[in-house]
Structure 1
Amino acid sequence: MHGSVTVHMSAPPEVVWDVVSDVTRIGEFSPETFEAEWVDGASGPQVGAKFRGHVRRNGVGPVYWTACKVTSCEPGRDFGFAVYGGGKRLNNWRYELTPAEGGGTNVTESFTLAGSAPMRIYWTVLGWHRKRANERGMRQTLERIRAVAEAEVAGGPR
C-alpha cells in the first residue's frame, strides 16, 4: 500500500523544499488537488500544522475537501503530511530531497495508505489501479515542480 516516484531537479534542495512545502501552491502542480489553505492558525510548514486540500479525484470528480496535518518538516530534506477522512488517517504523502552527485536534487514523492482493514480491502480490489494513477500523478506533480524550481534557479519567473 505504497508507491513512489523520483525525479532529478537541477536546483538545490533548499529551493525545491520551498516549493514543495508551500501547500498553497499545490494547485500549480497536482493533477488532483487544485487548491489548499492553512487552517487552525497555521501559516506555514511545521510539524503539527494543519491545512486542507480541495481535491478533484482523478482530475474529474468527485470534488471534496481533505483535512491534512504536517508529519515531517525538515527544511531542505523532508516534507510530509497525513490526509484524514472521518477523523482517521487515510494516507501519508512525503517529499524526500537528496542532494545529487554532480549537483541538483533527487526528489522522491511517495504515498503510504493506512493499514486499516477497509484500506487493505480497497487496496486488494482497486489498489493496482489507484497505485498506477497515483504514480502517474506524482510524476506529473514532480515534473511541474521541477519546472518551477529550475526556473527560480535560472532567475526566471515562478
Structure 2
Amino acid sequence: MTLSEITESVHVDAAPDVVWAVVTDVRRHPEFAGPKSITKAIEFDGPLELGARWVAHERFGPSRFDAPSEITAVDRGHDFGWVSFPPMKEENRGSGGRAYWDYHLEPENGGTRLSHHMRVEEPDRGALPMKAMYKVLNLPKKQRAAILTTLGNVKEAAEHRTGGG
C-alpha cells in the first residue's frame, strides 16, 4: 500500500543533456535536497546502469543509519529512477518498505521540464507505526516541500552550468 506519492515539476532554462548531467550526479543529491534532508552523504562510484547500487548515510533525529538504493530506470536524457530501502540486513531487503524516486525530463520552450516523483510503500510488517508517524509528523507535506527544494536547487545548478536563468 502506498503511504505517500508526490510529483512536482519545474521549467529549467537549460538543455535536457545539461539537466540530465545534474540529476544523475548521484553524490550531489544530498546537496540538492538541502540541509533539512535526512540524507547527508552518498557513496556511489559505479556506472549509471540498471541494478547499480549506492549507500546513503542518513540521519533522522538522533538516529544515524545507512540505507541502500538501487537504480531502476536509466533512459539517457529522459528518465532516471531508483528505489531506496530502509536499513535492514540484506536477507530482509525490501520487507521494510520502499521509497521509489525518479526524475523525468522533457524538452520545453528551449529548456527542460523536469519532474521529480516519489512514492513510499509501507513495509510488510510494522505498517501501523509507520502510518501513525506519517500522520503525526505530517510527512507528506514535508516530503512535498523537500521535492520542491530539490527541484529548485537542481534548476539553479543546471542553469548556472549554462549561464541561463
Q: Quick one: distance in 2 between partners of 1:47 and 1:37?
A: 17
Q: Is the 8 A contact 1:26 1:34 kept in 2?
A: no
1:138 paired to 2:151? no
Match of 2:41 in 1: 35
Q: Quick one: distance in 2 between partners of 1:21 and 1:106?
A: 16
Q: Is the 8 A contact 2:14 2:111 kept in 1?
A: yes
1:110 paired to 2:117? yes
Give the secondary-structure state (helix, strand or coil) at the position aligned to 1:93: strand
Give the secondary-structure state (helix, strand or coil) at the position aligned to 1:113: strand
Give the secondary-structure state (helix, strand or coil) at the position aligned to 1:26: helix
Q: Quick one: distance in 1 between partners of 2:145 and 2:113?
A: 18
Residue 118 of structure 1: how far off its partner (Å)? 4.7
Mapping of residues 80-95 of structure 1, within 5 Å: 80-85=81-86, 86=88, 87-88=93-94, 89-95=97-103
Give the secondary-structure state (helix, strand or coil) at the position aligned to 1:29: helix
Shift in alpha-carbon separation, 1:136–1:68, aligned structure 2, 3 A: same
Match of 1:66 in 2: 67
Residue 22 of structure 1: how far off its partner (Å)? 1.2
Q: Quick one: distance in 2 between partners of 1:10 and 1:137?
A: 21
For the aligned residue pairs, the C-alpha RMSD in angstroms reads 2.1
**Unaligned regions of 5+ residues in structure 1, if any?**
none
* Aligned counterpart in structure 1 of residue 18 of structure 2, from 8, 15, 18: 15
Q: Quick one: distance in 2 between partners of 1:142 and 1:120?
A: 29
Q: Is the 8 A contact 1:2 1:111 kept in 2?
A: yes
Q: Quick one: distance in 1 between partners of 2:112 and 2:67?
A: 29
Between the aligned residues of both structures, percent identity stands at 25
So what's the TM-score if we normalise by structure 2?
Answer: 0.80
Equivalent pairs, count: 149
Shift in alpha-carbon separation, 1:119–1:142, aligned structure 2, 3 A: farther
Shift in alpha-carbon separation, 1:119–1:109, aligned structure 2, 3 A: farther
**Unaligned regions of 5+ residues in structure 2, if any?**
none
Q: Is the 8 A contact 1:30 1:140 kept in 2?
A: yes
Name the amino acid aligned to 1:147: E
Give the secondary-structure state (helix, strand or coil) at the position aligned to 1:18: helix
Match of 1:125 in 2: 132
